[in-house]
Amino acid sequence: MSAPSQAAAPQPVAEETPLLEVTDLAVEFRTAEGTVRAVDGLSYRVEAGRTLAIVGESGSGKSVSSLAVMGLLPPTARVTRGSARLAGTDLLALRPRQHRAYCGERVAMVFQDALAALNPVHTVGYQLTEALRARRGLSRADARARAIELLDLVKVPNARARVKEYPHQFSGGMRQRVMIASALAMDPEVLIADEPTTALDVTVQAQVLQLLAEIQAERRMGLVLITHDLGVVAGVADDVTVMYAGRAVEQAPVGPLYAAPAHPYTRALLRSIPSTAGADRGTRRRLPVIPGRPPSPAARPSGCPFHPRCDVAQDLCRTEVPPLTGPAPARLSACHFAADVLANRPPETGGTHE
């Protein structure tokens, strides 16, 4: 898929006002063991016509942060800090009723498991246009026409006949397309896709991603793509935010990030993508993995949360939390030795880093 303007955009933080700007977001869960901080000071911005990929392991807070934006957090969770401005309005400060008016209309979400996210007792056509009929008062006939239009938009073949069918009559890929169509029903400006392709097999994944990218380019939507798969990111994203333990550890445009990661975690993730390149050279190498396990949100390590698994960890990392700073233009990395990692040289121990 063509990723528009990916190379021609050295500045991810363009002067343009962002569509969606999340600033210093923190979300806490109340559990039996006390409060657990799932997201801790996350900031990102999405501009019109651009795709931001949020990458991270399970439990890194990537889904929770988007649920917070949508106002879908479970009752045990609470936003403790930060804002999420959609074209200037802070969604997190709105009352639930006002927040709901934004959901669907201006910011919509695509869920991971389309079978579970479609109601088994309603026809696909009904689900696609339920919101339109409820909000805009569309007549039955208009709604049906719109449903067919939406199915055509997401390239479901034979849309006219299929609006009358039920979700279980659709294949996995087609269901995900329906899910996307229902999120697009009210022309939102920002679309949050929470692992939209995890439940699909690889060829269907590619088709769905391509579809998302096409629609996004056509409508100049802001797209937030949440995923744990860096391979998915490369093809469609413009910017990448890598999350670890509830924080953003690296933020950069996708090209530079792949070429030269500025955080040891990103570097380790990129190394652990299997590649067929080495196989024919006969130099069989064991696929590098990141040792250890992601930290439990209830027991985060001191200092840099990644230090127990980091291959360049120094004494400093065990005590000091690294701030998110820019080792190069348009790059942000939460590593004490970001400049060294970026240059791919061993960190200067006891150096004069800020």
Partner 1 sequence: MSDAAASAPPAARTAASSPVAEAWRTLRRRPDTVIAAVVLLFFAVMAAFPRLFTSTSPRTCPIREARTAPQGWGGDHPLGTDALGCDVLATLVHGVRPSLLLAVVVVGISLLIGVTLGLLAGYYLGWVDYLVSRAVEVFLVVPLLLAALLVLSLFKGVDLGAGTFNVILLPAVVLILFGWMPYARYVRASTLEAKNLDYVTAARSLGASDVRIMTRHVLPNAIGTVTALLPTSVAGVISAEAVLSFLGIGVRPPATSWGIQIEQGSQWVLGGAPHILLAPLACLVATVLALVVLGDALRDALDPRLAA
Query: Which stretches of the chain bind partner 1, using CB under 8 A?
Result: 70, 72, 100-105, 108-109, 111-113, 116-123, 130-131, 134-135, 161, 164-166, 169, 179, 182-183, 185-186
Q: Are 347 and 337 in contact (CB under 8 A)?
A: yes
- Report long-range pairs for 71-79 (Cβ below 8 Å, ≥24 apart): 71/96, 71/99, 71/100, 71/103, 72/109, 73/27, 76/29, 76/30, 76/31, 77/27, 77/28, 77/29, 77/30, 77/38, 78/27, 78/28, 78/29, 78/30, 79/25, 79/26, 79/27
Residue 76, both tokens: 């045990």
**Hey, how many other C-beta atoms are within 10 angstroms of the C-beta on 165?**
15
Residue 131: CB minimum distance to partner 1, A: 5
**Hey, how many other C-beta atoms are within 10 angstroms of the C-beta on 283?**
7
Q: Are 252 and 332 in contact (CB under 8 A)?
A: yes
Residue 162: CB minimum distance to partner 1, A: 10
Residue 109: CB minimum distance to partner 1, A: 4
**The dihedral sign for the CA sequence 219, 220, 221, 227:** positive
